[in-house]
Amino acid sequence: MAMYRDGLATQGGFDRGGLIVLPRPSLEYTDEVARETADIYERVKHSIPAIEWPVHAPYIKAINDLKKVRNAVILAHNYQTPQIFHGVADVVGDSLQLAREASRTDARIIIQGGVHFMAETSKLLNPDKMVLIPDRRAGCSLAESITGADVRLLRERYPGVPIVTYVNTSAEVKAESDICCTSANALEVVESFGVDTVLLIPDEYLAQNVAARTKVKILTWKGHCEVHERFTAAELLSFKEAHPGLEIIAHPECPPEIVAIADFTGSTSGMIRYVRDNRPPKALFVTECSMAANVQEAVPEVEFIGPCNLCPHMQRITLPKILDSLLNLTEEVTVDPEIAVRARRAVERMINLRN
C-alpha cells in the first residue's frame, strides 16, 4: 500500500523524479461509489443511460480520489465525452480558456483532456510542471497540415507580413510565428497588428471566415479540420426545412458556405454561451457531436438535432486512459527547450492581448 505526504506518494511502486506509480484502485460499483457519484449522474443522465453508469462511476471516483493524491488537475476541452466533462474535469472550456487556465494552475501535474497540441500548449505555459496526455495519438488534422519548415518558407516568400498561427498547431510551428490565435480571438489578433496584410495559418476556412469580417487582407494555407469540413450547407438546410424554429450554430472551422447560413458562429464556448443565452427551441451544433450532450443539462428545454460527426482524436481520451495516466504518470509531454522559448512567446502574446 502506498503512503502519501504533501499530496505525493512516498512509498510503493517505482519512483519517477519523486513521483511514484500507484497501485490500481478497485473498480467495483459499490454503494459508496453510487452515493459519491449520484450528483454527477444527475448532470449526465440525458446522455448516459442508467445501465451504463456502473461502468463509468468507479473510474470517476477513482480518478477524483487520485487527483488529490497526485496534486493533479484535469483540463478538459468542450468536446470531451460527458463522463469526462462532467465527471472528472476541474476546468472545461475552449482552447483559449484552457490555455489561460493552464497558465494559472497551482497543481503539480496537468492532465490534458483533449488533443496533443492542447497538451503542448499547457506544457509551454508550465515548463516546470508535469503535463500528461492520456493517449499520445490524439492528434489533429490541422496540426498535421503544416510544419515549421513550411512557415519558414512562408516568411521568406512574404517578408514583413505578420504570421498568426492557429493554436491547433505543433510547438515547432508556433515557434516560427509572431503570435497565436484561437477561434475565439482570431479577428482581434489579426487586427491587432494594424497592417493591411496578415498570414493566418493553417486553417483555410477559419481564415476565410475571418477575412469576411475584416478589411485586412488575409493570406492562408490549405489546412482543414477533418470534422468540420464534412458538413455541407445542403444537409443543414434540409434539417432547417424539416424543423421550423431550428437555429444553426456553427464553429468557424466550418467552410464559409456554412457560416453564411448559420444563425451564430463562434468558438466552442461561444456556441455554448449562445444557446444558454438564447434558448432556441431547437438547435443544431455544427461541430463535434459530444458538445451537445455536454451542454444539454444546462438547457434541458433545448432540443439538439443534427448529424453526429465525432473527432476521432478527441475520442481517444477515455476514463480508463485518464486513470492510467494518473497511476503511471504517462504519457508525459515534453517540448525541446529551444523551440519552447519561441513557441511560448507566441502563445503568451495571444494570452496577454486583452489582459
Site residues, ligand 13P (CB under 6 A)? 78, 94-95, 168, 182-183, 225, 251, 253, 267-268
d(CA 164, CA 181): 7
Site string for ligand SF4, 234-253 (x = CB under 6 A): -------------------x
C-alpha closest to that of 79 among 208, 240, 189, 228: 228
Q: Indicate whether 288 belongs to the interface with ligand SF4 (CB under 6 A).
A: yes
Tell me the residue ranges of DSSP E strands in 3-71. Answer: 4-5, 8-9, 15-16, 19-20
Which of 88, 96, 140, 322: binder of ligand SF4 (CB under 6 A)? 140
Furthest C-alpha separation in the chain: 66
CB of 355 to ligand SF4, least distance (A): 25
* Residue 331 interface partner, choices ligand SF4, ligand 13P, none, CB cut-off 5-8 Å depending on type: none
**Cβ neighbours of residue 346 under 8 Å, at least 6 residues apart?**
165, 174, 175, 177, 178, 179, 180
b/e burial code for range 132-151 (CB count within 10 A of at least 16 → b): bbbbeebbbbbbbbbebebb
Q: How far is the CB of 312 from ligand 13P (least distance, A)?
A: 12
For residue 182, the partner it binds in ligand SF4, ligand 13P, none, with Cβ less than 5 to 8 A by kind, is ligand 13P
Alpha-carbon span 110 to 144, nearest angstrom: 24
Q: How far is the CB of 188 from ligand 13P (least distance, A)?
A: 14
Q: What 3-state DSSP class applies to 171?
A: helix
Nearest distance in Å: CB 179, ligand SF4: 19
Q: Which is nearer to ligand SF4, 309 or 330 (CB)?
A: 309
- Taking alpha carbons only, the member of 247, 277, 319 closest to residue 67 is 319
Cβ proximity to ligand 13P: between 121 and 325 the closer is: 121
Q: If you search the block for the grid coordinates 496526455, which residue do you land on?
A: 133
Q: How far is the CB of 15 from ligand 13P (least distance, A)?
A: 36
Q: Could you list the residues that contact ligand SF4 (CB under 6 A)?
A: 115, 140-142, 168, 225-227, 253, 288, 311, 313-314
